[in-house]
Amino acid sequence: MGSLFQSVSINSNGVDYICSDIHGHFSLLKALLDKVNFDPSKDRLFSLGDLIDRGPECEEVLKWLRYEWFYAIQGNHERMLINAVEQKSSHVFMQWHAWGGSWAEDFDLVELQEYYQVLSNLPVAIELQVSGSKKVALVHAELPDQCDWLDVIDQLASVDKKDVEKNRLVSDMFWK
């Protein structure tokens, strides 16, 4: 797994867009980007997780994650795939398939490995610089009502990557 935290500098040439819960509807996303005249040479798109499951084009996720202008974090649906592969439990696989992972129910562990490798390397949070000193935090679900962002960054740096869901603060970024 890559770093759980990513800091992204300001985009001084184009526009930054943020979306969430694509759920395998990449054609719909592409149509919306076309509608706003998204320019991949200068614009960027940040996805707040749940790239996969439920929709008809989940396998497109690997292509989208190769785009230099596309930034994504893990959501709970990425975690379900990651957990299924790591735990190798038929119960965990069935649970993931029931919650939307049925697009991959005919895949074996070898076929899922590329998805696992790519998705498990996504960060849990992105800090996006939007102006000279102003930054915004991007997570999938939520942070506590009262928290210091620097403490969140410290938590993300100190938690063992295999134990992210055992850390309440980090787990809430996926599941709340």
Q: Is 77 a catalytic residue?
A: yes
CB distance 65 to 56 below 8 Å: no
Residue 8 vs residues 5, 127, 128: alpha-carbon distances, Å: 10, 6, 5
Catalytic one of 77, 91, 97, 140: 77
H or E element in which residue 61 lies: helix 61-64
- Residue 51 token pair: 């790239």
Helix axes 90-98, 76-87, angle to 10 degrees: 160
Cα dihedral value 96, 86, 58, 1, nearest 10: 140
Token look-up 């009262």 returns: 146
Active site residues: 77
